[in-house]
Amino acid sequence: MRLQLADRRCNQIVMKCKNVFELCTDFLQGLLGRDAATIAETEIWSLVSKLEIHRLAPGDILCTQGHISQSAYILVGGTIDGCVEYVGDTRTKTFSLQSGAILGEICLLTGLPHTATLRARDNAELLKLSRAAFVTLLSLQSRIPRILADLAIARQTDDETYLEHLPNLSEAAAHHEIAPTAIDPLSGLAAFCRFLLDARRA
Domain ranges of the chain: 2-201
- As a whole number of angstroms, the distance between CA 21 and CA 44 comes to 7
Give the model's pLDDT for residue 29.
95
Asked whether the whole model's pTM tops 0.85, one would answer no
Instruction: Find out whether 151 and 97 touch, Cβ atoms under 8 Å.
Output: no
Task: Give the CATH H-level superfamily of domain 2-201.
Answer: Jelly Rolls (2.60.120.10)
Model confidence at 201: pLDDT above 80: no
What contacts 4, CB < 8 A, 6 or more positions away?
none
**pLDDT level of residue 26 (50, 70, 90 thresholds):** very high
Model confidence at 12: pLDDT above 50: no
Give the model's pLDDT for residue 183.
43
Give the model's pLDDT for residue 151.
84
